[in-house]
Amino acid sequence: MLTASEYSNHSRQNQPITGPAELNLPRVLWILSSTLEKLVARNEKLVDDLNQQLDKLSCDSVRLGKSLNAFHGVRAPGISIPKYLERIYKYTNCSPSCFVVGYVYIDMLNHKHPDSLVLSLNVHRLLVTSVMVASKMLDDEHYNNAVYARVGGVSNAELNKLELELLFLLDFKVMVSTRVFESYCLHLEKEMLVNGTGLKIERTLSPKSIETEILVEDKQSSSPPPIVDYGLT
């Protein structure tokens, strides 16, 4: 699984200042944002170290796998991972379990395509796409792609493309069993214990009955709350 244990002494400057209780947010948002921030920091340090070594040898910069290229932005977005997760939860009202299952998808990508790293350039698009697909798997009522696109700061057309990209990269294996869900909850909680924070993840997992085919434009949407627009780069 994606691990952050080697970063137990890493600087915590990127973590949100206020916890989930103060903001009335699910604990999983705090836990997931902390884990992903460390993952991104680790991967970008790895890329920087490799580039420095290649510079000394007068070689070209390191070449990463292209599997996640569709999720890359022009530059890293100005919104932090904690704030982005909070935005998704606030405007889509998806269940907390969707964030755990979204993380499962990202971890599956990491194992299937180990040369394609989760970086600041792609983590936001990976998150909104993964959580959206998870909501279709878990929640009886959920917003359609157009709403998630506006919340995520991308165009509807781009999110449609990213959804299909994610599904093909995962070979459409997006069903997550209760056993796998529980194992990831325990893993994420252990990562928080490493940092001296014993937070527990909400354990509600009630997958709805799922059609064998996932539609890009889901029709099960209602009027969303007023959304403050934000655009990813």
* pLDDT tens string 160-181: 999 999 999 999 999 999 999 9
CA distance 166 to 196: 34
Q: What is the mean pLDDT of residues 117-144?
A: 95
How many C-beta atoms surround the C-beta of residue 209 within 10 A? 5
CATH of the domain at 43: 1.10.472.10
Q: What is the mean pLDDT of residues 209-229?
A: 54
Q: Which residue has the higher pLDDT, 53 or 215?
A: 53
Percent of the residues in the chain that have a pLDDT greater than 90, as a whole number: 55
Q: How many domains does the chain have?
A: 1
Confidence grade of residue 114 (pLDDT, cut at 50, 70, 90): confident
How many C-beta atoms surround the C-beta of residue 224 within 10 A? 16
User: 119: domain range?
Assistant: 27-195
Report yes or no: 132 and 159 within 8 Å, Cβ to Cβ. yes
Confidence grade of residue 24 (pLDDT, cut at 50, 70, 90): confident
The conformational region for residue 18 under phi > 0 = left, psi -120 to 50 = alpha, else beta, is beta
SS3 of residue 81 by DSSP? helix
Please report where in the chains the tokens 């836990």 appear, as a residue. Answer: 31
Q: Is residue 215 part of a domain?
A: no
Q: Is residue 175 part of a domain?
A: yes
Predicted TM-score (pTM) of this structure: 0.80
Highest mean pLDDT: which range of 101-110, 180-189, 208-217: 101-110
